C-alpha cells in the first residue's frame, strides 16, 4: 500500500511512511545494545532474485535496470492496479487472509460481539442488490439540507458539519473531499504532553493544486475531464443545468487551488506552527462565520488551534464571502455525492472510477468487489481485524528477529552520529537523546482502538459509512486536551507499510510488512538488511530528516542545533534535493527535490545505516558468494529489488505531482551516494551514475 498525502496536504511530519504499497514490547528508552545472537549460523538461500536482473546493463550506468530489468520487461500490471511490484503477491495474500478472517467471523459471531460487527460491515458492502434498491434515498436528506441553505451563516454551519477526520476505505477514492478544511488531532507542537487540533487547507476534488494551476498539456486535459466528471455525477443525481454547475464548481476549486501552498512549502514546520484563537480567525481570515463553523464542527469549546497554512485559510474564508451562495451549495452537493459514490448504486461508483481510476491513474478496471470490501473493513474496524490477524500470522519468532535487527540498526545509527566530524558535541548529544528515546513498535501496538460507539447494520451500507466517519471523528475530538499516548499506533497490524511519528518520537513496523519479500527469516543477512533493514533504517532516519530534525527528543518543535551545524545540515540536504531535481521520468516532468526531500534523506540515511548494521551482523564470519555475487553486491541488489515497481504513465505522473516519495527507480539510486557501492560493483568515472567522492551526499 502506498500512503498518499491527504486532500488537505497533511505534511509528512506527522506520518512519514516508507510507502512500499498501505508482542507488546518495543525497543526504546534505553540505549541500544549489540545483538547477542551475532554468533548464530548464517542462513543460506538466495539473497537476490537472479531472474529479475539484466546483466547486459552495467551497474554503473543504470543500477535499477541492472537489478530489475528482466522483471520490468516481463511483468504486466494487473488491470485493476495503477502499478505493480514484487510484493504484489503479498498484498493479494494479505487481502485473502483478511477476507478469510471476515468469513470466519460471519460463521462464528454472536449478535453484538466484535466478530458480528466485522461481518455485518463487510456484508453490507457486498449487498449490491440492497444498495441498488435504495438508490439515492439514503443521500436525499443530506442533499435536501444543502438545498435549504439560505444565507452565508447557514453555509458556515453546513461547512462545519462536513469536517471529519480522514478515513479512506479504498485508499484511492475521493471519499474525503467534501470538506473545506481538514482536521488532524495530534500532540501540540509546543505542548507535547497533550493533544491539540490542527486545521489544514482543503476544498479540492483533484489530488493537489498542481492539477488546477499547471499549464502542461497533460494537466489541462485532466482538468477538462474532471469538469466533465463533475457534470456527469450531478446528472446522475438528477440535477438540472449540470454542465453550468460543474463549470462553477471547478472555477471555485481553481480559485482555492491558487491559494494553496505547495507540497514543498507545506513541509516547513516553522511556517506551520501558528496558534489561532477564535479572535484570530475573525481578524486574520474574515469572510467565514467562524463561530458557526467551529460550533457546527463540534469544536466550539476548543480555545485554540494550530493553523498549518494561514494564507490558504485567509483566502478560502474570503472566497466563502465573495462566491455566490448557489455555487457553494453546488460544491457541497457534488462533494457529498462524490464522497459516498462507492456506497451508492453502481452507476455512481462506475462514474467515480471512470475519472479517479481510469483518468487519474490509468487503471482499466476496478478491483473485485470483495477486495474493496476488505478495504472498507480495514478502514473502519481495522484494529478488530488486526488483533485476529496478528495472533494468527505473526509468530513470536519473527517478532524477536525483527526486534534484533532494530537493535542493530540503532547501534549502527548511534555509531554514525558519534563519528560525525562536522557536528558540535551539544547538537550531537541531543541527536543521541532522540535516538535513545525512540519508541519502536514491531508487529502491532500495545493497545487497540475501541469501536464500541460505532453502530453497524448489516442492511445499511450508506449508514455504516456515515456513522463510521462520525465515530472516528468523535474519537479524535474526544482526545483534545488529554494526555498523549506515545505508544499509540497509526497503522493496523495487517498494513504493508511502516511509519515514523515525529511528534511521538516513535516508529511502527506492522506485521504485514514483516514477511517475504521484505523480511524472510530463512534468507541470508544480505537480503534482509538490504530490504527490511533499509526500511527500518529509513524510518529511524526520518527522525533526523529535514522535518524530523525540527523536533527534539521529547517531540517539541525546538531548534537544538548550533548555527554552524544547522548550516552544514541544510547545505547537505539542499545538495540531495538538487540531485533529485535532475531525475526526469518524462521529458516534460522532473522530480521536485524539495517535495521529496524528507523521504530521500530517509532513504539515504537508512541505506547507510543498514549497510553498517549488516557488516556488523556478519563480522568475523565468512559470507560466501552466491552465483558470482559478493555479499556486498547481494546487499545492494536486495535494496534495489525492494524498490522494483512498474507504473502506468498516469499513475507515475500523479505520484510525481502529489507524493513526497520519489518513484522506486529513483529511490534505488541512493546507492550513488554510498562509497561501498562503488567498490562492490567497480563503478568508475565515466559511467552514467558515477558521482565523484566530493559530489556524493553525506548527511548522517
pLDDT tens digits for range 312-336: 999 999 999 999 999 999 999 999 9
Task: State whether the Cα torsion 239-176-279-286 is positive or negative.
Answer: negative
pLDDT tens digits for range 609-618: 999 999 999 9
Give mean pLDDT, residues 198-205.
Answer: 94
Query: Helix (H) and strand (E) counts for the chain?
Result: 29, 11
Q: How far is CA 249 from CA 157, 226, 633, in A?
A: 20, 11, 54
Give mean pLDDT, residues 628-642.
Answer: 95
> Could you tell me the pLDDT band of residue 263, with boundaries at 50, 70 and 90?
confident
CB 521 within 8 Å of CB 231: no
CA–CA separation, 692 and 644 (whole Å): 26
CA–CA separation, 509 and 440 (whole Å): 8
CA–CA separation, 137 and 139 (whole Å): 5
The residues with which 626 forms a beta bridge, in sequence order, are 629
Domains defined along the chain, listed by start: 16-86+394-451+482-695 (3.40.390.10), 135-368 (1.10.1380.10)
> Could you tell me the pLDDT band of residue 106, with boundaries at 50, 70 and 90?
confident
Q: Half-sphere exposure (CA, 13 Å, Cβ side) for 269? A: 21
pLDDT at 622 (0 to 100): 82
**What is the DSSP code string of 29-75?**
SSPP---TTTTSPPP-S-SS-GGG--TTS-TTT-HHHHHHHHHHHH-
Give mean pLDDT, residues 124-141.
Answer: 97
Phi/psi of residue 412, nearest 5 degrees: -65, -40
Give me the helices (H) in 394-479, please.
396-418, 425-436, 461-477
pLDDT at 119 (0 to 100): 95
pLDDT at 9 (0 to 100): 34
> Could you tell me the pLDDT band of residue 182, with boundaries at 50, 70 and 90?
very high
Instruction: Give the lowest-confidence range in 6-10, 129-133, 417-421.
Output: 6-10
Give me the helices (H) in 148-241, please.
152-161, 210-213, 217-236
pLDDT at 31 (0 to 100): 28
CA–CA separation, 668 and 538 (whole Å): 13
Give mean pLDDT, residues 38-47.
Answer: 41
Cell of 551: 523536533
pLDDT over 70 at 29, yes or no? no
Radius of gyration of the chain (CA): 25
CB 672 within 8 Å of CB 692: no
> Could you tell me the pLDDT band of residue 576, with boundaries at 50, 70 and 90?
very high
pLDDT over 60 at 176, yes or no? no
CB atoms within 10 A of CB 93: 13
CA–CA separation, 8 and 177 (whole Å): 9
Give mean pLDDT, residues 658-686.
Answer: 97
Q: How far is CA 191 from CA 113, 186, 488, in A?
A: 38, 11, 17
Cell of 276: 489561532
Q: In angstroms, how far is the first alpha carbon of the chain from the final one?
A: 28
Give mean pLDDT, residues 266-271.
Answer: 88
CB 188 within 8 Å of CB 194: yes
The residues with which 84 forms a beta bridge, in sequence order, are 646
Instruction: Give the lowest-confidence range in 73-77, 162-166, 575-579, 678-682.
Output: 162-166
pLDDT over 80 at 44, yes or no? no
Strands of 499-614 (E only): list them. 499-501, 506-510
Cell of 124: 453490507
Q: Half-sphere exposure (CA, 13 Å, Cβ side) for 148? A: 8
Please list, in sequence order, all residues whose beta carbon lies within 8 angstroms of the beta carbon of residue 693, skipping any fewer than 6 positions away. 675
pLDDT at 190 (0 to 100): 87
> Could you tell me the pLDDT band of residue 24, with boundaries at 50, 70 and 90?
very low
pLDDT at 12 (0 to 100): 34
pLDDT at 270 (0 to 100): 87
Cell of 197: 487540533
Q: Between these two residues, 157 and 557, which has the higher pLDDT value?
A: 157
Q: Half-sphere exposure (CA, 13 Å, Cβ side) for 163? A: 27
19: left (phi over 0), alpha (psi -120 to 50) or beta: left
Q: At what angle do helices 346-353 and 217-236 cross, to 10 degrees?
A: 170
Cell of 337: 455525492
Strands of 487-576 (E only): list them. 499-501, 506-510
> Could you tell me the pLDDT band of residue 172, with boundaries at 50, 70 and 90?
very low
CB 291 within 8 Å of CB 301: no
Residue closest to 161 by CA, chosen among 28, 283, 294, 41: 294
CA–CA separation, 345 and 234 (whole Å): 14
Residues in the chain: 700
What are the b/e assignments for 358-367, b being 16+ CB within 10 Å? bbbbbbeebb
CB atoms within 10 A of CB 499: 23
CA–CA separation, 617 and 623 (whole Å): 11
CB 68 within 8 Å of CB 669: no
pLDDT over 50 at 471, yes or no? yes
pLDDT tens digits for range 362-376: 999 999 999 999 999
pLDDT over 70 at 33, yes or no? no
Cell of 54: 539484466
What is the average pLDDT score of the chain? 89
Q: Between these two residues, 568 and 192, which has the higher pLDDT value?
A: 568
Give mean pLDDT, residues 213-226.
Answer: 95
Q: Burial level of 641, CB count in 10 A (0-12/13-18/19+)?
A: buried
Q: Burial level of 220, CB count in 10 A (0-12/13-18/19+)?
A: exposed
CA–CA separation, 444 and 510 (whole Å): 6
Give mean pLDDT, residues 65-75.
Answer: 97
pLDDT at 47 (0 to 100): 64
Residue closest to 342 by CA, chosen among 139, 143, 158: 139
The residues with which 305 forms a beta bridge, in sequence order, are 276
CA–CA separation, 138 and 430 (whole Å): 55
CA–CA separation, 21 and 270 (whole Å): 30
Amino acid at each position: 500500500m502506498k500512503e498518499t498525502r491527504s486532500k488537505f496536504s497533511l505534511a509528512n511530519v506527522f506520518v512519514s511512511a516508507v510507502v512500499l504499497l498501505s508482542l507488546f514490547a518495543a525497543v526504546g528508552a534505553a540505549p541500544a545494545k549489540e545483538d547477542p545472537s551475532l554468533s548464530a549460523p548464517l542462513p543460506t538461500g538466495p539473497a537476490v532474485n537472479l531472474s529479475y536482473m539484466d546483466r547486459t546493463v552495467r551497474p554503473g550506468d543504470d543500477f535499477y535496470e541492472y537489478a530489475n530489468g528482466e522483471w520490468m520487461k516481463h511483468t504486466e500490471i494487473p488491470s485493476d492496479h495503477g502499478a505493480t511490484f514484487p510484493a504484489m503477491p503479498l498484498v493479494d495474500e494479505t487481502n485473502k487472509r483478511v477476507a478469510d478472517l471476515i468469513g470466519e467471523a460471519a460463521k462464528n459471531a454472536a449478535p453484538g460481539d466484535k466478530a458480528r460487527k466485522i461481518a455485518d460491515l463487510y456484508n453490507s458492502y457486498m449487498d449490491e442488490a440492497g444498495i441498488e434498491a435504495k438508490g439515492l434515498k439514503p443521500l436525499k436528506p443530506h442533499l435536501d439540507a444543502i438545498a435549504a441553505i439560505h444565507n452565508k451563516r447557514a453555509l458556515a454551519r453546513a461547512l462545519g458539519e462536513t469536517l471529519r477526520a480522514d478515513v479512506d476505505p479504498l485508499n484511492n477514492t475521493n471519499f474525503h473531499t467534501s470538506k473545506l478544511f481538514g482536521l488532524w488531532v495530534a500532540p501540540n507542537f509546543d505542548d507535547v504532553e497533550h493533544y491539540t487540533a490542527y486545521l489544514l487547507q482543503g476544498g479540492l476534488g483533484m489530488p493537489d493544486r498542481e492539477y488546477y494551476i499547471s499549464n502542461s498539456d497533460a494537466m489541462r486535459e485532466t482538468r477538462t475531464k474532471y469538469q466533465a466528471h463533475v457534470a456527469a455525477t450531478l446528472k446522475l443525481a438528477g440535477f438540472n443545468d449540470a454542465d453550468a454547475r460543474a463549470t462553477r464548481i471547478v472555477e471555485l476549486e481553481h480559485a482555492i487551488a491558487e491559494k494553496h501552498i505547495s507540497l514543498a512549502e507545506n513541509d516547513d514546520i516553522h511556517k506551520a506552527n501558528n496558534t489561532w484563537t477564535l479572535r484570530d480567525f475573525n481578524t486574520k481570515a474574515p469572510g467565514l462565520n467562524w463561530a458557526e463553523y467551529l460550533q457546527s464542527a463540534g469544536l466550539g469549546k476548543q480555545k485554540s488551534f494550530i493553523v498549518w497554512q494561514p494564507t490558504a485559510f485567509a483566502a478560502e474564508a474570503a472566497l466563502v464571502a465573495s462566491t455566490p451562495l448557489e455555487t457553494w451549495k453546488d460544491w457541497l452537493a457534488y462533494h457529498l455525492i462524490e464522497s459516498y459514490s462507492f456506497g451508492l448504486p453502481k452507476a455512481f461508483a462506475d462514474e467515480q472510477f471512470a475519472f479517479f481510476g481510469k483518468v487519474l491513474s490509468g487503471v482499466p478496471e476496478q478491483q473485485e468487489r470483495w477486495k474493496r470490501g476488505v478495504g472498507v473493513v480495514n478502514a473502519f474496524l481495522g484494529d478488530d481485524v488486526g488483533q485476529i490477524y496478528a495472533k494468527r500470522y505473526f509468530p513470536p519468532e519473527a517478532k524477536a528477529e525483527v526486534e534484533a535487527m532494530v537493535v542493530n540498526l540503532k547501534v549502527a545509527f548511534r555509531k554514525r552520529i558519534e563519528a560525525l566530524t562536522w557536528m558540535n558535541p551539544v547538537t550531537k548529544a541531543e541527536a543521541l537523546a532522540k535516538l535513545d528515546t525512540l519508541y519502536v513498535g514491531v508487529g502491532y501496538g500495545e493497545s487497540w482502538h475501541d469501536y464500541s460507539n460505532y453502530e453497524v447494520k448489516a442492511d445499511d451500507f450508506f449508514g455504516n459509512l456515515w456513522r463510521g466517519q462520525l465515530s472516528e471523528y468523535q474519537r479524535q475530538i474526544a482526545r483534545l486536551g488529554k494526555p498523549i499516548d506515545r505508544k499509540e499506533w497509526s497503522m493496523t497490524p495487517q498494513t504493508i507499510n511502516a511509519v515514523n511519528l515525529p511528534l511521538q518520537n516513535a516508529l511502527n513496523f506492522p506485521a504485514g510488512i514483516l514477511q517475504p519479500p521484505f523480511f524472510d527469516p530463512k534468507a541470508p543477512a544480505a537480503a534482509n538488511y538490504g530490504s527490511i533493514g533499509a526500511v527500518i533504517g529509513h524510518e529511524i532516519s526520518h527522525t533526523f530528516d529535514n522535518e524530523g530534525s525540527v523536533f527534539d527528543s521529547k517531540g517539541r518543535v525546538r531548534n537544538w542545533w548550533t548555527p554552524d551545524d544547522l548550516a552544514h545540515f541544510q547545505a547537505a540536504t539542499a545538495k540531495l534535493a538538487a540531485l533529485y531535481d535532475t531525475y526526469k521520468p518524462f521529458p516534460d516532468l522532473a522530480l521536485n527535490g524539495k517535495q521529496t526531500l524528507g523521504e530521500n534523506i530517509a532513504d539515504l540515511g537508512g541505506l547507510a545505516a543498514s549497510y553498517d548494521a549488516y557488516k556488523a551482523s556478519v563480522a568475523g564470519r565468512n559470507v560466501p558468494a552466491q552465483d558470482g555475487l559478493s555479499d556486498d553486491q547481494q546487499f545492494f541488489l536486495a535494496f534495489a529489488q525492494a524498490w522494483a515497481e512498474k507504473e502506468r504513465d498516469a499513475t507515475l505522473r500523479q505520484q510525481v505531482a502529489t507524493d513526497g516519495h520519489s518513484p522506486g527507480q529513483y529511490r534505488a539510486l541512493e546507492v550513488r551516494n554510498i562509497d561501498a557501492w562503488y567498490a562492490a560493483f567497480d563503478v568508475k568515472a565515466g559511467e552514467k551514475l558515477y558521482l565523484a567522492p566530493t559530489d556524493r551526499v553525506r548527511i548522517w
